[in-house]
Amino acid sequence: MTRFLAASDVMTVKEAWWMYLLGGLVTLFIIAGSLFFAYKAYKRAKELEMPKENLKKTIISSVSFSILPSIGIFIGVITMAGLLGVPLPWIRLSVLGALHYELMAVSVAAEGVTVSALTVENFVTIAFVMTIAIIWGAIFALFFFKKYQEKVIDKVKPNDKKSFANLIFQSVFIGMIAAYFGDAFAKMINYEVREVVDGAYTGVILDRTTFVPLIVFVSSFIFMAFFDYLVTKKNQKWLENFQLSLSMILGMAIAVFLGMGGIY
Amino acid sequence: MKDYRARMHFYGRIFTVLGIAVMFLVPFIIWAVTGVGPNVEQLLVGVVALSVLYLPGGIIEVLTYGPILGTSGTYLAFITGNLINLKIPCVMNARELVGTEINTEENEIVSTIAVAFSSITTVIIMTLGVIMLIPLRPILNSPVLAPAFNWVVSALFGALGYKYFKHHLKLVVAPLVVVIVLSILMPTFVYGNIVIVILIEALITILFARILWKKNLL
Protein backbone atom coordinates (compact mmCIF):
# COMPACT_ATOMS: atom_id res chain seq x y z
CA MET A 1 0.00 0.00 0.00
CA THR A 2 2.81 2.43 0.87
CA ARG A 3 4.06 2.13 -2.68
CA PHE A 4 0.74 3.51 -3.86
CA LEU A 5 0.51 6.14 -1.17
CA ALA A 6 3.44 7.82 -2.81
CA ALA A 7 1.99 7.38 -6.25
CA SER A 8 2.57 10.64 -7.98
CA ASP A 9 2.78 9.22 -11.44
CA VAL A 10 -0.62 9.68 -13.01
CA MET A 11 -0.16 6.68 -15.29
CA THR A 12 0.07 4.46 -12.20
CA VAL A 13 -2.84 6.14 -10.46
CA LYS A 14 -5.34 5.96 -13.29
CA GLU A 15 -4.77 2.23 -13.81
CA ALA A 16 -4.13 1.34 -10.14
CA TRP A 17 -5.58 -1.88 -8.72
CA TRP A 18 -7.46 0.07 -6.06
CA MET A 19 -9.21 2.08 -8.77
CA TYR A 20 -10.47 -1.20 -10.23
CA LEU A 21 -11.50 -2.22 -6.72
CA LEU A 22 -13.54 0.98 -6.43
CA GLY A 23 -15.17 0.17 -9.77
CA GLY A 24 -16.10 -3.26 -8.45
CA LEU A 25 -17.53 -1.70 -5.31
CA VAL A 26 -19.70 0.75 -7.26
CA THR A 27 -20.91 -2.11 -9.48
CA LEU A 28 -21.82 -4.26 -6.48
CA PHE A 29 -23.63 -1.35 -4.84
CA ILE A 30 -25.79 -0.82 -7.93
CA ILE A 31 -26.58 -4.52 -8.29
CA ALA A 32 -27.45 -4.81 -4.58
CA GLY A 33 -29.67 -1.71 -4.60
CA SER A 34 -31.43 -2.81 -7.80
CA LEU A 35 -32.06 -6.30 -6.46
CA PHE A 36 -33.37 -4.86 -3.20
CA PHE A 37 -35.98 -2.69 -4.92
CA ALA A 38 -36.84 -5.40 -7.43
CA TYR A 39 -37.44 -7.83 -4.56
CA LYS A 40 -39.67 -5.33 -2.73
CA ALA A 41 -41.65 -4.77 -5.94
CA TYR A 42 -41.91 -8.51 -6.51
CA LYS A 43 -43.27 -9.08 -3.00
CA ARG A 44 -45.80 -6.31 -3.47
CA ALA A 45 -46.82 -7.77 -6.83
CA LYS A 46 -47.52 -11.07 -5.10
CA GLU A 47 -49.68 -9.33 -2.51
CA LEU A 48 -51.62 -7.63 -5.28
CA GLU A 49 -51.87 -10.93 -7.15
CA MET A 50 -50.39 -9.49 -10.30
CA PRO A 51 -49.91 -12.16 -12.97
CA LYS A 52 -46.39 -13.62 -12.86
CA GLU A 53 -46.35 -13.50 -16.62
CA ASN A 54 -46.30 -9.69 -16.50
CA LEU A 55 -43.28 -9.61 -14.20
CA LYS A 56 -41.46 -12.10 -16.40
CA LYS A 57 -42.26 -10.02 -19.47
CA THR A 58 -40.93 -6.91 -17.75
CA ILE A 59 -37.65 -8.58 -16.79
CA ILE A 60 -37.00 -10.22 -20.16
CA SER A 61 -37.89 -7.14 -22.19
CA SER A 62 -35.89 -4.80 -19.93
CA VAL A 63 -32.76 -6.94 -20.01
CA SER A 64 -32.89 -7.61 -23.75
CA PHE A 65 -33.68 -3.97 -24.44
CA SER A 66 -30.81 -2.65 -22.27
CA ILE A 67 -28.01 -4.67 -23.88
CA LEU A 68 -27.41 -2.56 -26.98
CA PRO A 69 -27.55 0.88 -25.31
CA SER A 70 -25.25 -0.52 -22.60
CA ILE A 71 -22.68 -1.56 -25.20
CA GLY A 72 -23.01 1.99 -26.52
CA ILE A 73 -22.29 3.30 -23.02
CA PHE A 74 -19.31 0.99 -22.69
CA ILE A 75 -17.84 2.40 -25.90
CA GLY A 76 -17.77 5.66 -23.92
CA VAL A 77 -15.32 3.99 -21.53
CA ILE A 78 -13.04 3.18 -24.46
CA THR A 79 -13.38 6.77 -25.74
CA MET A 80 -12.29 8.22 -22.40
CA ALA A 81 -9.76 5.54 -21.45
CA GLY A 82 -7.00 7.16 -23.51
CA LEU A 83 -6.88 10.14 -21.18
CA LEU A 84 -8.28 8.87 -17.89
CA GLY A 85 -7.47 5.17 -17.86
CA VAL A 86 -10.17 2.49 -17.66
CA PRO A 87 -11.46 2.50 -14.05
CA LEU A 88 -12.58 6.15 -13.69
CA PRO A 89 -14.68 6.18 -16.90
CA TRP A 90 -16.01 2.73 -15.94
CA ILE A 91 -17.14 4.07 -12.56
CA ARG A 92 -18.51 7.34 -13.93
CA LEU A 93 -20.51 5.74 -16.71
CA SER A 94 -21.95 3.15 -14.29
CA VAL A 95 -23.60 5.90 -12.24
CA LEU A 96 -25.45 9.18 -12.88
CA GLY A 97 -23.86 10.86 -15.88
CA ALA A 98 -23.34 10.30 -19.59
CA LEU A 99 -20.44 10.41 -22.04
CA HIS A 100 -21.05 13.96 -23.30
CA TYR A 101 -21.36 15.18 -19.71
CA GLU A 102 -18.14 13.49 -18.60
CA LEU A 103 -16.28 14.85 -21.63
CA MET A 104 -17.54 18.33 -20.79
CA ALA A 105 -16.37 17.84 -17.20
CA VAL A 106 -12.90 16.95 -18.46
CA SER A 107 -12.75 20.05 -20.60
CA VAL A 108 -13.87 22.47 -17.86
CA ALA A 109 -11.86 20.86 -15.05
CA ALA A 110 -8.60 20.70 -16.96
CA GLU A 111 -8.83 22.96 -19.95
CA GLY A 112 -6.83 21.86 -22.94
CA VAL A 113 -5.26 18.95 -21.09
CA THR A 114 -3.63 16.17 -23.14
CA VAL A 115 -2.51 12.68 -22.17
CA SER A 116 1.12 13.65 -21.84
CA ALA A 117 0.35 16.82 -19.84
CA LEU A 118 -2.14 15.21 -17.42
CA THR A 119 -1.11 15.44 -13.77
CA VAL A 120 -2.43 13.67 -10.67
CA GLU A 121 -3.91 17.00 -9.58
CA ASN A 122 -5.80 17.24 -12.91
CA PHE A 123 -7.00 13.68 -12.44
CA VAL A 124 -8.32 14.32 -8.92
CA THR A 125 -9.93 17.61 -9.97
CA ILE A 126 -11.63 15.94 -12.94
CA ALA A 127 -12.95 13.15 -10.69
CA PHE A 128 -14.41 15.69 -8.25
CA VAL A 129 -16.00 17.88 -10.91
CA MET A 130 -17.58 14.85 -12.62
CA THR A 131 -19.04 13.70 -9.30
CA ILE A 132 -20.37 17.02 -8.01
CA ALA A 133 -21.90 18.77 -11.02
CA ILE A 134 -24.30 15.96 -11.98
CA ILE A 135 -25.59 15.29 -8.46
CA TRP A 136 -28.46 17.83 -8.52
CA GLY A 137 -31.17 15.52 -9.82
CA ALA A 138 -30.45 12.97 -7.07
CA ILE A 139 -30.42 15.68 -4.38
CA PHE A 140 -33.65 17.20 -5.67
CA ALA A 141 -35.27 13.74 -5.68
CA LEU A 142 -33.99 13.12 -2.16
CA PHE A 143 -35.63 16.23 -0.71
CA PHE A 144 -38.57 17.06 -2.94
CA PHE A 145 -39.77 14.03 -4.87
CA LYS A 146 -42.12 12.83 -2.13
CA LYS A 147 -43.77 16.24 -1.87
CA TYR A 148 -44.02 16.58 -5.63
CA GLN A 149 -45.67 13.18 -5.85
CA GLU A 150 -48.22 14.05 -3.15
CA LYS A 151 -49.00 17.55 -4.38
CA VAL A 152 -48.89 17.13 -8.14
CA ILE A 153 -48.71 13.58 -9.48
CA ASP A 154 -51.39 12.20 -7.18
CA LYS A 155 -53.88 14.77 -8.42
CA VAL A 156 -53.97 12.80 -11.63
CA LYS A 157 -56.60 10.08 -11.60
CA PRO A 158 -55.20 7.49 -13.98
CA ASN A 159 -58.18 5.18 -14.03
CA ASP A 160 -60.50 7.83 -15.34
CA LYS A 161 -60.20 7.15 -19.05
CA LYS A 162 -62.20 10.21 -19.94
CA SER A 163 -60.04 12.57 -17.93
CA PHE A 164 -57.49 14.74 -19.64
CA ALA A 165 -54.86 13.91 -17.03
CA ASN A 166 -54.19 10.52 -18.56
CA LEU A 167 -53.32 12.21 -21.82
CA ILE A 168 -50.66 14.37 -20.18
CA PHE A 169 -48.27 11.46 -19.66
CA GLN A 170 -48.88 10.07 -23.12
CA SER A 171 -48.12 13.55 -24.44
CA VAL A 172 -44.78 13.65 -22.61
CA PHE A 173 -43.79 10.34 -24.25
CA ILE A 174 -44.86 11.48 -27.68
CA GLY A 175 -43.06 14.80 -27.19
CA MET A 176 -39.92 12.89 -26.26
CA ILE A 177 -40.05 10.66 -29.31
CA ALA A 178 -40.78 13.65 -31.56
CA ALA A 179 -37.78 15.46 -30.03
CA TYR A 180 -35.51 12.54 -30.97
CA PHE A 181 -37.00 12.49 -34.44
CA GLY A 182 -35.98 16.16 -34.57
CA ASP A 183 -32.51 15.24 -33.32
CA ALA A 184 -32.11 12.89 -36.29
CA PHE A 185 -33.79 15.27 -38.74
CA ALA A 186 -31.70 18.29 -37.71
CA LYS A 187 -28.45 16.44 -38.41
CA MET A 188 -29.50 16.22 -42.02
CA ILE A 189 -29.36 20.00 -42.17
CA ASN A 190 -26.34 20.69 -40.04
CA TYR A 191 -24.31 18.55 -37.73
CA GLU A 192 -21.34 19.82 -35.78
CA VAL A 193 -18.99 17.20 -34.42
CA ARG A 194 -16.69 18.13 -31.56
CA GLU A 195 -13.49 16.28 -32.25
CA VAL A 196 -12.34 13.91 -29.51
CA VAL A 197 -8.71 12.83 -29.39
CA ASP A 198 -7.41 10.62 -26.58
CA GLY A 199 -10.61 11.05 -24.59
CA ALA A 200 -10.82 14.85 -24.50
CA TYR A 201 -12.41 17.51 -26.69
CA THR A 202 -9.79 19.15 -28.86
CA GLY A 203 -11.82 22.31 -29.42
CA VAL A 204 -12.00 21.58 -33.14
CA ILE A 205 -15.54 21.61 -34.49
CA LEU A 206 -16.19 19.76 -37.72
CA ASP A 207 -19.19 20.88 -39.78
CA ARG A 208 -21.12 18.06 -41.40
CA THR A 209 -24.51 16.90 -42.58
CA THR A 210 -25.77 13.34 -42.35
CA PHE A 211 -28.87 11.46 -43.43
CA VAL A 212 -27.89 8.34 -41.54
CA PRO A 213 -29.62 8.97 -38.17
CA LEU A 214 -32.89 9.78 -39.92
CA ILE A 215 -32.62 6.64 -42.05
CA VAL A 216 -31.86 4.62 -38.89
CA PHE A 217 -34.82 6.20 -37.07
CA VAL A 218 -37.26 5.53 -39.91
CA SER A 219 -36.03 2.01 -40.63
CA SER A 220 -36.18 0.99 -36.95
CA PHE A 221 -39.73 2.38 -36.97
CA ILE A 222 -40.61 0.26 -40.02
CA PHE A 223 -38.97 -2.89 -38.60
CA MET A 224 -40.95 -2.40 -35.41
CA ALA A 225 -44.16 -2.10 -37.44
CA PHE A 226 -43.27 -5.35 -39.17
CA PHE A 227 -42.57 -7.20 -35.91
CA ASP A 228 -45.74 -5.76 -34.41
CA TYR A 229 -47.62 -7.18 -37.38
CA LEU A 230 -46.05 -10.61 -36.75
CA VAL A 231 -46.93 -10.48 -33.05
CA THR A 232 -50.49 -9.25 -33.33
CA LYS A 233 -51.66 -10.63 -36.68
CA LYS A 234 -49.50 -13.73 -37.14
CA ASN A 235 -49.60 -14.74 -33.50
CA GLN A 236 -45.80 -14.86 -33.07
CA LYS A 237 -46.07 -14.10 -29.35
CA TRP A 238 -42.48 -15.16 -28.62
CA LEU A 239 -41.29 -12.09 -30.52
CA GLU A 240 -43.03 -9.69 -28.18
CA ASN A 241 -40.20 -9.26 -25.68
CA PHE A 242 -37.52 -8.97 -28.36
CA GLN A 243 -39.18 -6.88 -31.04
CA LEU A 244 -37.67 -3.63 -29.80
CA SER A 245 -34.12 -5.00 -29.58
CA LEU A 246 -34.42 -6.69 -32.98
CA SER A 247 -35.73 -3.52 -34.61
CA MET A 248 -32.83 -1.60 -33.12
CA ILE A 249 -30.23 -4.11 -34.28
CA LEU A 250 -31.63 -4.05 -37.82
CA GLY A 251 -31.75 -0.23 -37.82
CA MET A 252 -28.16 -0.10 -36.61
CA ALA A 253 -27.13 -2.71 -39.19
CA ILE A 254 -28.41 -0.38 -41.90
CA ALA A 255 -26.09 2.33 -40.55
CA VAL A 256 -23.19 -0.15 -40.82
CA PHE A 257 -24.11 -1.04 -44.40
CA LEU A 258 -24.41 2.62 -45.34
CA GLY A 259 -21.00 3.20 -43.73
CA MET A 260 -19.51 0.36 -45.80
CA GLY A 261 -20.87 2.09 -48.88
CA GLY A 262 -19.13 5.31 -47.81
CA ILE A 263 -22.24 7.04 -46.46
CA TYR A 264 -21.78 8.32 -42.92
CA MET B 1 -50.77 1.79 -1.82
CA LYS B 2 -50.03 4.64 0.58
CA ASP B 3 -48.19 2.36 2.95
CA TYR B 4 -46.08 0.70 0.27
CA ARG B 5 -45.21 4.04 -1.24
CA ALA B 6 -44.24 5.55 2.09
CA ARG B 7 -41.85 2.66 2.66
CA MET B 8 -40.40 3.06 -0.81
CA HIS B 9 -39.77 6.75 -0.16
CA PHE B 10 -38.01 5.77 3.04
CA TYR B 11 -35.80 3.12 1.42
CA GLY B 12 -35.35 5.26 -1.67
CA ARG B 13 -33.99 8.12 0.36
CA ILE B 14 -31.59 5.84 2.22
CA PHE B 15 -30.46 4.42 -1.12
CA THR B 16 -29.94 7.93 -2.51
CA VAL B 17 -27.82 9.01 0.45
CA LEU B 18 -25.76 5.82 0.20
CA GLY B 19 -25.46 6.25 -3.56
CA ILE B 20 -24.20 9.82 -3.25
CA ALA B 21 -21.75 8.63 -0.58
CA VAL B 22 -20.45 5.85 -2.86
CA MET B 23 -20.03 8.31 -5.74
CA PHE B 24 -18.09 10.73 -3.54
CA LEU B 25 -15.99 7.93 -2.12
CA VAL B 26 -14.22 7.67 -5.48
CA PRO B 27 -12.58 11.12 -5.71
CA PHE B 28 -11.94 11.19 -1.95
CA ILE B 29 -10.13 7.85 -2.08
CA ILE B 30 -8.04 9.01 -5.01
CA TRP B 31 -7.16 12.05 -2.92
CA ALA B 32 -6.40 9.95 0.17
CA VAL B 33 -4.26 7.38 -1.60
CA THR B 34 -2.24 9.77 -3.77
CA GLY B 35 -2.07 12.53 -1.18
CA VAL B 36 -2.86 15.01 -3.96
CA GLY B 37 -5.98 17.15 -3.52
CA PRO B 38 -8.01 18.83 -6.26
CA ASN B 39 -7.10 22.23 -7.60
CA VAL B 40 -9.70 24.31 -5.74
CA GLU B 41 -9.92 27.07 -8.31
CA GLN B 42 -10.41 24.71 -11.25
CA LEU B 43 -12.80 22.67 -9.18
CA LEU B 44 -15.02 25.66 -8.43
CA VAL B 45 -14.92 26.96 -11.98
CA GLY B 46 -15.74 23.49 -13.34
CA VAL B 47 -18.58 22.80 -10.93
CA VAL B 48 -20.17 26.22 -11.44
CA ALA B 49 -19.85 26.08 -15.23
CA LEU B 50 -21.46 22.65 -15.44
CA SER B 51 -24.06 23.28 -12.74
CA VAL B 52 -25.48 26.23 -14.67
CA LEU B 53 -26.64 23.57 -17.13
CA TYR B 54 -27.10 20.52 -14.97
CA LEU B 55 -28.77 21.97 -11.86
CA PRO B 56 -31.93 23.09 -13.70
CA GLY B 57 -31.53 20.06 -15.97
CA GLY B 58 -31.59 17.70 -12.99
CA ILE B 59 -34.65 19.35 -11.48
CA ILE B 60 -36.53 19.30 -14.80
CA GLU B 61 -35.67 15.61 -15.17
CA VAL B 62 -37.09 14.70 -11.77
CA LEU B 63 -40.27 16.66 -12.50
CA THR B 64 -40.72 15.21 -15.99
CA TYR B 65 -39.64 11.62 -15.48
CA GLY B 66 -40.62 11.09 -11.83
CA PRO B 67 -44.23 10.25 -12.72
CA ILE B 68 -43.07 7.79 -15.39
CA LEU B 69 -40.50 6.07 -13.19
CA GLY B 70 -42.66 5.75 -10.08
CA THR B 71 -41.43 5.94 -6.50
CA SER B 72 -38.55 3.48 -6.14
CA GLY B 73 -37.85 3.68 -9.87
CA THR B 74 -37.09 7.39 -9.51
CA TYR B 75 -34.66 6.95 -6.63
CA LEU B 76 -32.93 4.08 -8.41
CA ALA B 77 -32.72 5.86 -11.75
CA PHE B 78 -31.36 9.09 -10.29
CA ILE B 79 -28.39 7.21 -8.88
CA THR B 80 -27.79 4.76 -11.71
CA GLY B 81 -28.20 7.41 -14.43
CA ASN B 82 -28.59 7.06 -18.21
CA LEU B 83 -32.15 8.31 -17.97
CA ILE B 84 -33.21 9.51 -21.39
CA ASN B 85 -31.05 7.14 -23.38
CA LEU B 86 -31.96 4.01 -21.43
CA LYS B 87 -34.11 3.98 -18.27
CA ILE B 88 -37.08 6.01 -19.57
CA PRO B 89 -37.42 4.14 -22.89
CA CYS B 90 -36.98 0.88 -21.01
CA VAL B 91 -39.86 1.72 -18.66
CA MET B 92 -41.98 2.99 -21.56
CA ASN B 93 -41.46 -0.30 -23.37
CA ALA B 94 -42.27 -2.41 -20.29
CA ARG B 95 -45.49 -0.53 -19.54
CA GLU B 96 -46.53 -0.76 -23.17
CA LEU B 97 -46.03 -4.55 -23.09
CA VAL B 98 -47.75 -5.09 -19.75
CA GLY B 99 -50.35 -2.36 -20.26
CA THR B 100 -50.24 -0.54 -16.92
CA GLU B 101 -51.44 3.02 -16.35
CA ILE B 102 -49.21 5.69 -14.83
CA ASN B 103 -49.59 6.38 -11.12
CA THR B 104 -51.12 3.01 -10.35
CA GLU B 105 -49.48 0.55 -8.04
CA GLU B 106 -49.06 -2.01 -10.83
CA ASN B 107 -47.17 0.60 -12.79
CA GLU B 108 -44.92 1.32 -9.81
CA ILE B 109 -44.04 -2.36 -9.70
CA VAL B 110 -43.42 -2.70 -13.42
CA SER B 111 -41.30 0.45 -13.62
CA THR B 112 -39.25 -0.53 -10.55
CA ILE B 113 -38.47 -3.96 -11.98
CA ALA B 114 -37.68 -2.45 -15.40
CA VAL B 115 -35.27 0.15 -13.96
CA ALA B 116 -33.67 -2.42 -11.64
CA PHE B 117 -32.99 -4.99 -14.36
CA SER B 118 -31.91 -2.35 -16.83
CA SER B 119 -29.37 -1.04 -14.27
CA ILE B 120 -28.10 -4.54 -13.54
CA THR B 121 -27.72 -5.26 -17.27
CA THR B 122 -25.74 -2.06 -17.77
CA VAL B 123 -23.27 -2.62 -14.94
CA ILE B 124 -22.78 -6.28 -15.89
CA ILE B 125 -22.05 -5.35 -19.51
CA MET B 126 -19.69 -2.60 -18.35
CA THR B 127 -17.86 -5.02 -16.05
CA LEU B 128 -17.61 -7.70 -18.75
CA GLY B 129 -16.37 -5.01 -21.12
CA VAL B 130 -13.66 -3.94 -18.68
CA ILE B 131 -12.59 -7.54 -18.11
CA MET B 132 -12.45 -8.28 -21.83
CA LEU B 133 -11.21 -4.86 -22.83
CA ILE B 134 -8.11 -6.02 -24.64
CA PRO B 135 -9.86 -8.31 -27.16
CA LEU B 136 -12.92 -6.03 -27.34
CA ARG B 137 -11.25 -2.69 -27.93
CA PRO B 138 -10.36 -3.22 -31.62
CA ILE B 139 -13.82 -4.63 -32.38
CA LEU B 140 -15.84 -1.89 -30.69
CA ASN B 141 -13.48 0.78 -31.94
CA SER B 142 -13.56 -0.45 -35.52
CA PRO B 143 -14.68 2.12 -38.07
CA VAL B 144 -17.08 -0.46 -39.58
CA LEU B 145 -19.14 -0.72 -36.37
CA ALA B 146 -18.84 2.96 -35.42
CA PRO B 147 -22.01 4.12 -37.26
CA ALA B 148 -24.10 1.48 -35.46
CA PHE B 149 -23.32 2.77 -31.99
CA ASN B 150 -23.16 6.36 -33.11
CA TRP B 151 -26.85 6.22 -33.92
CA VAL B 152 -28.08 3.81 -31.27
CA VAL B 153 -30.38 6.50 -29.81
CA SER B 154 -32.05 7.11 -33.19
CA ALA B 155 -32.63 3.37 -33.56
CA LEU B 156 -34.04 3.23 -30.04
CA PHE B 157 -36.55 6.05 -30.41
CA GLY B 158 -37.47 5.07 -33.96
CA ALA B 159 -38.42 1.57 -32.81
CA LEU B 160 -40.12 2.78 -29.65
CA GLY B 161 -41.90 5.52 -31.58
CA TYR B 162 -43.92 3.09 -33.66
CA LYS B 163 -46.19 1.92 -30.84
CA TYR B 164 -46.78 5.39 -29.49
CA PHE B 165 -47.46 6.81 -32.90
CA LYS B 166 -49.77 3.91 -33.75
CA HIS B 167 -51.90 4.43 -30.65
CA HIS B 168 -51.97 8.22 -30.75
CA LEU B 169 -51.86 9.06 -34.42
CA LYS B 170 -53.80 12.30 -34.01
CA LEU B 171 -51.53 13.60 -31.27
CA VAL B 172 -48.37 13.14 -33.30
CA VAL B 173 -49.06 15.77 -35.95
CA ALA B 174 -48.36 18.95 -33.96
CA PRO B 175 -45.07 17.93 -32.27
CA LEU B 176 -43.72 16.51 -35.54
CA VAL B 177 -44.52 19.67 -37.50
CA VAL B 178 -42.98 21.87 -34.80
CA VAL B 179 -39.81 19.82 -34.49
CA ILE B 180 -39.32 19.69 -38.26
CA VAL B 181 -39.68 23.48 -38.52
CA LEU B 182 -37.34 23.95 -35.55
CA SER B 183 -34.80 21.57 -37.10
CA ILE B 184 -34.80 23.45 -40.37
CA LEU B 185 -34.48 26.85 -38.69
CA MET B 186 -32.10 25.98 -35.84
CA PRO B 187 -30.56 22.53 -36.34
CA THR B 188 -27.74 23.01 -33.82
CA PHE B 189 -30.20 24.04 -31.13
CA VAL B 190 -32.31 20.93 -31.67
CA TYR B 191 -29.60 18.29 -31.32
CA GLY B 192 -27.51 20.34 -28.92
CA ASN B 193 -30.25 20.93 -26.33
CA ILE B 194 -32.27 17.75 -26.39
CA VAL B 195 -33.54 18.12 -22.79
CA ILE B 196 -35.05 21.52 -23.61
CA VAL B 197 -36.42 20.29 -26.93
CA ILE B 198 -38.11 17.36 -25.15
CA LEU B 199 -39.70 19.84 -22.76
CA ILE B 200 -40.91 22.11 -25.58
CA GLU B 201 -42.26 19.13 -27.52
CA ALA B 202 -44.00 17.70 -24.47
CA LEU B 203 -45.70 21.03 -23.76
CA ILE B 204 -46.80 21.40 -27.38
CA THR B 205 -48.22 17.88 -27.41
CA ILE B 206 -50.08 18.54 -24.14
CA LEU B 207 -51.50 21.77 -25.53
CA PHE B 208 -52.54 20.10 -28.78
CA ALA B 209 -54.05 17.17 -26.86
CA ARG B 210 -55.99 19.64 -24.74
CA ILE B 211 -57.50 21.29 -27.80
CA LEU B 212 -58.44 17.97 -29.41
CA TRP B 213 -59.82 16.68 -26.12
CA LYS B 214 -61.99 19.75 -25.61
CA LYS B 215 -63.41 19.35 -29.10
CA ASN B 216 -64.04 15.68 -28.37
CA LEU B 217 -61.78 14.64 -31.20
CA LEU B 218 -59.76 12.06 -29.25
Contact (CB<8Å) A104/B50? yes
Which pLDDT belongs to residue A4?
A: 46
Q: Which residue of B has its CA nearest to A162?
A: B213
Would you tell me which residues 5-24 of chain B have a C-beta closer than 8 angstroms to some C-beta of chain A? Answer: 5, 7-9, 11-13, 15-20, 22-24
Please give the tally of structural domains in chain A.
1
pLDDT digits (tens, 9 = 90+) for B73-105: 999 999 999 888 899 999 999 988 898 888 788
Would you place residue B140 in the very low, low, confident or very high pLDDT band (cuts 50, 70, 90)? confident
Q: Is A73 a domain residue?
A: yes
Query: Same domain for B120 and B22?
Result: yes
Which pLDDT belongs to residue B75?
A: 97
Q: Is A23 a domain residue?
A: yes
Q: Is A200 a domain residue?
A: no
pLDDT digits (tens, 9 = 90+) for A182-228: 999 999 998 888 888 777 777 788 888 899 999 999 999 999 999 99
Query: Same domain for B122 and B136?
Result: no
State the residue range of the domain holding B211: 168-218
Q: How far is B58 from chain A (nearest CA, A)?
A: 4
Contact (CB<8Å) B47/A129? yes
Query: Same domain for B153 and B124?
Result: no
CB B147 within 8 A of CB A256: yes
Q: Which residues of B touch A95 (CB under 8 A)?
A: 19, 22-23, 79-81
pLDDT digits (tens, 9 = 90+) for A13-45: 989 999 999 999 999 999 999 999 999 999 999
Query: Same domain for B138 and B124?
Result: no
Query: Same domain for B104 and B154?
Result: no
Query: Same domain for B150 and B89?
Result: no
φ/ψ of A132, rounded to 5, equals: -75, -50
Interatomic CA distance for residues A87 and A17, integer angstroms: 9
Query: Same domain for B113 and B156?
Result: no
pLDDT digits (tens, 9 = 90+) for A145-185: 999 988 887 776 655 555 676 777 788 889 989 999 999 99
Contact with chain A for residue B204, Cβ under 8 A: yes
Interatomic CA distance for residues B12 and B4, integer angstroms: 12
Complex-level ipTM beyond the 0.90 threshold: no
Contact (CB<8Å) B180/A66? no
Query: Same domain for B99 and B148?
Result: no
Judge whether residue A1 has pLDDT over 50.
Answer: no
To the nearest 10°, report the CA torsion of A10, A13, A14, A19.
-170
Please give the tally of structural domains in chain B.
3
Go through A130-155 and write b for each residue having 16 or more CB atoms within 10 A of its CB, e for each that does not.
bbbbbbbbbbbbbeebbebbeeebee
Of B6-15, B48-57, B183-192, the range with the highest mean pLDDT is B6-15
Per-residue CA distances from A96 to A78, A101, B81 (Å):
18, 10, 4
Judge whether residue A5 has pLDDT over 50.
Answer: no
State the residue range of the domain holding A128: 1-134
Q: Is A167 a domain residue?
A: no
Which pLDDT belongs to residue B152?
A: 85
Which pLDDT belongs to residue A160?
A: 55
Per-residue CA distances from A90 to A11, A55, A85, A149, B99 (Å):
16, 30, 9, 33, 35
Query: Same domain for B31 and B110?
Result: yes
Q: Is A37 a domain residue?
A: yes
Contact (CB<8Å) B37/A139? no
